[in-house]
Chain A
Amino acid sequence: MEDLIKILKDLHPDVDFDTCTTLIDDKILDSFDIVTVISEINEEFDVVIPAEEIVPENFNSAQALYALIKKIEDED
């Protein structure tokens, strides 16, 4: 989880990713961020997020995104 928070903090040092649950709804993350986050997750966790999982629900909070990474890791 810490590694993920670091990826997000690099993009938006001013956001509290531990508590924020409206990253998409409040337009904190934009399309560029999503692309960056997905490629960094790929590097850091060796996890490929498939297109069908790139939906608002999975990116609204760090927790949701972390749960998605875990889910994909478990499936492998």
Chain B
Amino acid sequence: MNMQQRNVMEYLDKIVLQYPDKVAFSNEDPGCDLTFEMVYDRSRAIGSLLQSKGYYAEPVVVFMKKHPNAISAFFGCVYGGCYYVPIDEEMPKFRTELILQTLNPRVMICDDETREIALSMNFAGEILLYSEAIKAEIDECALNRIRDKQIDTDPIYIVFTSGSTGIPKGVVACHRSVIDYIENLSEVLEFNHDTRFANQTPLYFDACLKELYPTLKFGATTVIVPKSLFMFPIKLVEFLNEHKINTVCWVVSALTMISSFKTFEKIKPEYLTNIAFGSEVFPIKQLNLWKEALPNCKFTNLYGPTEATGMCCYFKVDREFDLNESVPIGGPFKNTRILLLNEKNELCKDGEEGEICVVGTSLTIGYYKNFEKTNEVFVQNPLNNIYPELIYRTGDIGKRNERGELLFVSRKDFQIKHMGHRIELGEIEVNVNNIDQIRTCCCVYDKEKDKIKLYYVGDIETGEIISILKEKLPRYMIPNKAEKLDVMPLTANGKIDRKKLASM
């Protein structure tokens, strides 16, 4: 790692000299290709514009459809010394408004379509149109001044994750945490300038860092896969082949969608040599189908919370697993330490289960405008009473196997992973309880079938509840099944009996 690097945009500054005309970011439409020079020019124009309008060291909402242009807008915010907040066009308006309330941003970058939506949301700040912003004059002096002023603990983005109180939490990451992550991730996954990524994950989560910044670091290429292709396995593999994709960092459900329909009997990804997966447990049966189809491909399991920037542990699949085993999350990246702490805040003994805690430069800054929640999970290392040392408590329970490898066991609370998304069941329940006719409700997660089930008591039909929730929550948070009950089962203590509901 270059110890001098203080700013993530140094990746782009350097690589544009080497590969100005190479395509950096593209999608299914060749007319939308962005070369490194185009990314460089456009993002510096946006940075200059933000500066000239007096925006600095503040959140800039990037509300654009998933497109190479949106990526250059992110970088524009960073060149301008601001931090970008990606918002998705498919996010329900209600949720977007909640996020805007938390941020209270003065400025937003939109494309032609999202501008209309932004205007309908009573957004009080200034809207900059992307197509206009990239025409702004590049102010070399101003950009240099900004760069000189910036330090590596300055924020570069905020991404929002599910919050149990019903209000999404904004995780703030800085240059230093992202550089540390990208350097170590790249070493483990052996990216290089020939890497051709197919991006699957949304741009509004940290998951896309795995493609965006290594693309800048190495002069690689990222192709955004149209979301609709993840419904149609053969078309998806054809797309990978057409674009000569050799590397994917996808959620498990995107990979199993291909393998479970016997797609490999018809067509195989011809160029794929490097598959990283994470955010969910990979069923061994499906993993074996992949290994069989692509015997020369590397498979790496990644694990990590958004609060530690991205991924912090990895396991290179190097042996066969029984169908009832799970793939380990392995061990930490370099420059990251993992502590397994039991309920007494002591280090776990061999095989003992404990909370996975992360220590190191890769920790993000914390939650935006939320010191209380930040202080609950970014805490002093209980093993260190000599000097201040922050750890992040993930809430994930893990243990070590006899080989010393880390295994993910479960969650401490009601957070779940569904289709690769991190969801607090409490956030769904808060939104259901807010419906007038609802008397009480409870969400349970059926891990085996990967389904969220809602049980409720109240004078309202299930269809109506789902319709209301669709206006408030992202698609992946909508319960897969809703059931009306006459009475809610309770435990002896009078709490909702989740175990009983789960067995219904």
Task: Give residues in A with beta carbon < 8 Å to B.
Answer: 10-14, 24, 27, 29-32, 34-36, 38, 49-52, 54-56, 59
Q: Does B266 contact A (CB under 8 A)?
A: yes
Which A residues are in CB contact (< 8 Å) with B233?
A: 51, 54
Residues of B within 8 A of A29 (CB): 231
The interface on chain B, measured as residues whose beta carbon lies within 8 A of the other chain's beta carbons, has a size of 31
Chain B minimum-CB-distance residue to A29: B231
Query: How far in angstroms is the closest Cβ of chain B from A61?
Result: 15
- Kindly state the separation between the CA atoms of A72 and B254 in the bound complex, as whole angstroms: 26
A51 near B466 (CB under 8 angstroms)? no
Least distance between A59 CB and chain B CB atoms (Å): 7
Does chain A have a CB within 8 A of B462? yes
User: Which of B106-114, B255-263, B326-334, B406-414 sits within the interface?
Assistant: B255-263
Question: Are A36 and B257 in contact, CB atoms less than 8 angstroms apart?
Answer: no
Q: Are A30 and B231 in contact (CB under 8 A)?
A: yes
Q: Are A30 and B475 in contact (CB under 8 A)?
A: yes
Annotate B256-274 by CB proximity to A: 1 below 8 A, 0 otherwise: 0100111101100000000
Interface string of B224-238 (1 = CB under 8 A from A): 000110111111000
Chain B interface (Cβ within 8 Å of chain A)? 90, 227-228, 230-235, 253-254, 257, 260-263, 265-266, 419, 461-464, 466-467, 470, 475-476, 480-482
Which residues of the partner chain A approach B231 to less than 8 Å between Cβ atoms?
Answer: 24, 29-31, 34, 54, 56, 59
Cα-based distance from A55 to B482 in the complex (angstroms): 28
A36–B479 Cα gap in the complex (Å)?
A: 13
In the complex, which of the residues B227, B228, B232 has the most CB atoms of chain A within 10 Å of its own CB atom? B232
Knowing A14-B463, A35-B257, say if A52 contacts B266 (CB, 8 Å): yes
Q: Is the CB of A31 within 8 A of B234?
A: no
A32–B481 touching, CB < 8 Å: no
Residue contact B232 to A55, C-beta cutoff 8 Å: yes
User: Would you give 30 A-B contacts (Cβ < 8 Å), ordered by A?
Assistant: A12-B466, A13-B462, A13-B464, A13-B467, A14-B464, A14-B467, A14-B470, A24-B228, A27-B90, A29-B231, A30-B231, A30-B475, A31-B253, A32-B476, A34-B231, A34-B232, A35-B260, A36-B480, A38-B261, A51-B233, A51-B234, A51-B261, A54-B231, A54-B234, A54-B261, A55-B232, A55-B235, A56-B228, A56-B232, A59-B231
- Given the contacts A32-B419, A36-B480, A38-B261, A54 and B232 also touching, CB distance less than 8 Å: yes
**Which A residues touch B261, using CB under 8 A?**
38, 49-51, 54
Nearest 5 CB-CB pairs, A to B?
A13-B463, A31-B230, A14-B467, A51-B263, A51-B261
**Residues from chain A with Cβ under 8 Å of B470 in the complex:** 14
A30 to B, closest residue via Cβ? B475
Distance in Å: Cβ of A58 to nearest Cβ of chain B: 10
Instruction: Decide if the interface of chain B is mainly helix, strand, loop or mixed.
Output: helix
Closest beta carbon of chain B to A75's beta carbon, Å: 16
Instruction: Return chain B residues, CB-CB under 8 Å to A52.
Output: 234, 266
Chain B's nearest CB lies how many Å from the CB of A23?
A: 10
Closest chain A residue to B462 by CB distance? A13
Residues of A contacting B227 in the complex (Cβ-Cβ under 8 angstroms): 31
CB distance from B184 to the nearest CB of A (A): 31
Q: Does the CB pair B235–A13 fall under 8 Å?
A: no
Asked if A10 and B481 sit within 8 Å, CB to CB, the answer is yes
What is the distance, in angstroms, from B380's C-beta to the closest C-beta of chain A?
40
Residues of B within 8 A of A12 (CB): 466
Determine whether the beta carbon of B262 is less than 8 Å from that of A51. Answer: yes
B476 contacts across to A, CB distance below 8 A: 32
Specify which chain B residues have a CB less than 8 angstroms from the CB of A11 in the assembled complex: 480
In this complex, which of B90, B235, B261 has the most chain A Cβ atoms within 10 angstroms of its Cβ?
B261
Q: Do B266 and A51 touch across chains, with their CB atoms under 8 A apart? A: yes
CB distance from B257 to the nearest CB of A (A): 6
User: How many angstroms from the CA of A55 to the CA of B263 in the assembled complex?
Assistant: 12
Give complex CA distance A44, B346 in Å.
Answer: 51
Given A31-B257, A32-B476: A14 and B232 interface contact (C-beta under 8 Å) = no
Q: Point out the residues of chain A lying under 8 angstroms from B235, CB to CB.
A: 55
Cα-based distance from A29 to B429 in the complex (angstroms): 23
Cα of A12 to Cα of B480 in the assembled complex, Å: 9
Q: Which residues of A contact B461 (CB under 8 A)?
A: 13
* A10–B419 alpha-carbon span in the complex (Å): 18
Q: How far is the CB of A53 from chain B (nearest CB, A)?
A: 9
Given contacts A24-B231, A35-B260, A54-B231, 4 further A-B contacts (CB under 8 A): A14-B464, A30-B231, A31-B227, A55-B232
Q: Within the complex, what minimum Cβ distance (angstroms) separates A19 from chain B?
A: 16
> How far, in whole Å, are A24 and B227 apart by their CA atoms in the complex?
12
Q: Which residue of A lies closest to B461 (CB)?
A: A13
Q: Which residues of B contact A34 (CB under 8 A)?
A: 231-232
Query: How far, in whole Å, are A11 and B260 apart by their CA atoms in the complex?
Result: 21
User: Are A50 and B257 in touch, CB under 8 angstroms?
Assistant: no
Q: How far is the CB of B351 from chain A (nearest CB, A)?
A: 35
Contact B466 A14 (CB under 8 A): yes
- Residues in B with CB closer than 8 Å to A55 are 232, 234-235
How many whole Å from B417's CB to the nearest CB in chain A? Answer: 13
Task: List chain A residues, Cβ under 8 A from B462.
Answer: 13
A49: chain B residues at CB < 8 Å are: 261
